[in-house]
Amino acid sequence: MRNRTEKSPVLPELYCSKATLTAPYEGVSLRNSLRNCHTMGIKQGPGATLRLFSLGALLALASVSAHADTISLGFVSFDILIPGAPELPGVNAFSITNFTGSNSLSPDFPVATDLSFLGSSLTLAGDFNGTVNIGTVVPGSTSPAALEFPETTLFSSATFSANLSQTIFALSDGRTFQATDRALSVELLPFSGLNLSPSLDFAVITVEATEVRSAVPEPSYGYILCVAFVAAYLVRSPRRGRRPLGV
C-alpha cells in the first residue's frame, strides 16, 4: 500500500480579498487563511483591515463603557393612619420614607451616605387633585398633615418628585456611585382596581447611578483609538522571510 503525504492546502499567491478571507478554501480555517496571507507577504484588502479596525475599536469602547445600576433610596406609600369605626371614618395618609444613611436597610436599600430629598412634592389624582409641597425629606419617614385624608377620599395615583442633595454616595459594601441625575420621580399606582388601597400600595424611589472607580482611571477614547489603529496596522503589515504554510 502506497503511503501518500498530504500537504495542507495553500492559498495561491493572490491578493487577499474579502472573498478569500470570508470563504477560505475547503479544509483551511479562517485563521489559517489569514496566517497564509501574512507568511506570503501578501497584503490584505483595505476592506478587511477597516472591518478589523472597526471591530477592535467597538470592542475597546464597549469594555470601558459605564454600566448604570438602579439604586433603591426609599419608597412612597399609602397607609391606614387611623382605622375606621362604625359611624366614624378612619384616616388614610401618604408617607415618604428615606432609607439612606442612618436609616439604610441593606441589601434592599444599600446607600450608606445620608441623602436628603430636596424640594419634595406629591401630586395627587382622584377625589382630591393637586400638588402638596413636602420640602426636605431626611433619612427617616415623614407624613405631613397635608397628606392625611378621610378614608372615603379615593385616589387613582400619586406622583412623588424631588432632587437629591448630592449625586455621589457610598454603598454599604464600600463601593462609591454617582447618580446620573439629581431629579427623582416615581408614580404610585393601584396594584389592582382603579384606586389606591391603603396599607397595600407603595412605590420604590430609585436612582440610576454608575460606579466610581477612582483607583483605576478609565483610558481616554483617544488612547483606545490609537491602540485600535496600531492593531489594525499590525494585522495588515506583511511578514517577510517566511514560507507559506504547507509547503
Q: Running DSSP on this structure, what letter comes out for residue 157?
A: E
Please name the amino acid found at residue 243. R
Q: Nearest to residue 162, comparing CAs of 201, 132, 187, 136?
A: 136
Q: What are phi and psi of 145, to 5 degrees?
A: -60, -30
Contact predicate 33/19, CB 8 Å: no
Regarding pTM above 0.85, the answer is: no
- What residue segments make up the domains of the chain, in order of their start? 18-44+218-236, 68-211
Contact predicate 166/30, CB 8 Å: no
Per-residue pLDDT of the chain (247 residues; tens, 9 = 90+): 545 544 444 444 444 444 444 444 444 444 454 455 444 444 445 555 555 455 455 544 444 445 789 999 999 999 999 999 888 889 999 999 999 999 999 999 999 999 999 999 999 999 999 999 999 999 999 999 999 999 999 999 999 999 999 999 999 999 999 999 999 999 999 999 999 999 999 999 999 999 998 655 555 556 566 666 656 555 555 555 555 555 5
Q: How far apart are CA 19 and CA 93, in angstroms?
A: 71
